[in-house]
Amino acid sequence: MEAEKKAISLLSKLRNELQTDKPIVPLVEKFVDTDVWNQYLEYQQSLLNEGDGKPRWFHSPWLFVECYMYRRIHEAIIQSPPINDFDVFKESKEQNFFESQESIIALCTHLQELVRTIDDLDENQLKNEFFKFLQISLWGNKCDLSLSGGESSSQKMSIINSLEDLKPFILVNDFEHLWSLLSSCKRTREKASVRVDIILDNAGFELVTDLVLADFLLSSKLATEVHFYGKTIPWFVSDTTVHDFNWLVRQVKHCNHKWMSRCGADWERYIEMGRWVYHDHVFWTLPHEYSAMSQVAPDLYAELQKAHLILFKGDLNYRKLTGDRKWEFTIPFHQALNGFHPAPLCSIRTLKAEIQVGLQPGQGEQLSATDPHWLTTGKYGVFQFDGPL
């Protein structure tokens, strides 16, 4: 109880600093990333020439202060043993999973029925199924607890039945590039491995959509191994940690629905065989944009270079890929990546932040005229590819 009181008082202090635009203070509790964070804070300070020269909540780059807030929430917990490994968002993530049961059952049933006949599909049918699973993973990204502000973000409806209706809301669709890349890898690397990396976003229902996609990639032989990357600490409310990943696989396996539990058993087997690999890295919860990865985390950059394709899920990854800058809508995605290119990559994202690049001339203006909030509601999505075309 004393630890809880201490954590709550530290969180109250954080809330007061945020609400009253206090200077952003260095982290104090020693943790694996404390020095890197404090160096970045000094860097932000060096950019300021006016006032008292201290970064403040209302006047600093939004991506930086948003990440800093979640890092300070974690600091309040690690300063309060014995609850220092408590995930403050665990309950809401698990609730999202349980409230989405019917949709998860529909997905697992579709996957299991498909896998049984997958060897009989011709190339065109396989391509259509690949596109279907990509769309499922895209619209799964709507379930974001940091956007919903604590409201339920579960998926009540079966997503499979909505795919045709949702197609017009895909603003950039580079699906053909993904198909040609993976199908040519499959043809030319008969005996070699084909690796797809997925940079995860939300736990709960979205994570199920990502695992279903990863299962399809293995079952269709479009990939021979899938590597997943999650967060080392609780982040942006619903982001996936290793605990969330393992917990979800166990829950699916022990469900009392035949096809759902079959999926969980398959997923556990993929992990044991090393065909699914989960990675932790502190870089994903640092404030840096991804163009700095090769300098800040060269080991992670080198690991990503081993992939034939990297799928970046969700909005935060998109903001970090593009530096969260106010780009013109028509700026090419490749240019906005600012030199970040460890391997061919694709952003799979529903729009929840005021940034989007790679649109056709006039497309952004037309959307703004018909729907003033198109950039932030999660209604629209993209498959945006950067790689050899």
The two tokens of residue 12 are: 């109250």
Pick from 389, 382, 386: nearest CA to 135: 382
pLDDT tens over the chain, length 389 residues: 999 999 999 999 999 999 999 999 999 999 999 999 999 999 999 988 765 678 999 999 999 999 999 999 999 999 999 999 999 999 999 999 999 999 999 999 999 999 999 999 999 999 999 999 999 999 999 866 555 455 555 666 678 989 999 999 999 999 999 999 999 998 887 778 999 999 999 999 999 999 999 999 999 999 999 999 999 999 999 999 999 999 999 999 999 999 999 999 999 999 999 999 999 999 999 999 999 999 999 999 999 999 999 999 999 999 999 999 999 999 999 999 999 999 999 999 999 999 999 999 999 999 999 999 999 999 999 999 999 86
Pick from 339, 329, 214, 345: nearest CA to 267: 214
In sequence order, the 6+-apart residues with CB closer than 8 A to the CB of 294 are: 301, 340, 342
Cα atoms in the 13 Å half-sphere on the side-chain side of 90:
9
Alpha-carbon distance 177 to 167, whole Å? Answer: 17
- pLDDT given for residue 188 in this prediction: 87
The two tokens of residue 124 are: 């065109």
H or E element in which residue 79 lies? none
Over residues 86-130, the pLDDT tens digits come to 999 999 999 999 999 999 999 999 999 999 999 999 999 999 999
In sequence order, the 6+-apart residues with CB closer than 8 A to the CB of 164 are: none
Residue whose pair of structure tokens reads 């040519």 in the numeric block: 184
- pLDDT given for residue 151 in this prediction: 55
CA 110 vs CA 106, 132, 184, 212, 221: distances in Å: 6, 11, 26, 10, 18
- pLDDT given for residue 51 in this prediction: 58
Domains of the chain, start order: 2-78 (no CATH), 90-386 (3.40.50.10880)
The two tokens of residue 79 are: 């300063």
CB-based contact 316:351 (threshold 8 Å): no
The Cβ of residue 16 has, within 10 Å, a number of other Cβ atoms equal to 10
Alpha-carbon distance 23 to 20, whole Å? Answer: 9
Q: How would you classify the pairing of strands 345-350 and 225-230?
A: unpaired
In sequence order, the 6+-apart residues with CB closer than 8 A to the CB of 366 are: none
- For residue 168, give the amino acid letter: P
Alpha-carbon distance 34 to 27, whole Å? Answer: 6
Over residues 316-340, the pLDDT tens digits come to 999 999 999 999 999 999 999 999 9
Residue whose pair of structure tokens reads 């349980």 in the numeric block: 98
Report the number of secondary-structure helices (H) and strands (E) in the chain: 17, 7
Alpha-carbon distance 309 to 294, whole Å? Answer: 18
Alpha-carbon distance 239 to 11, whole Å? Answer: 20
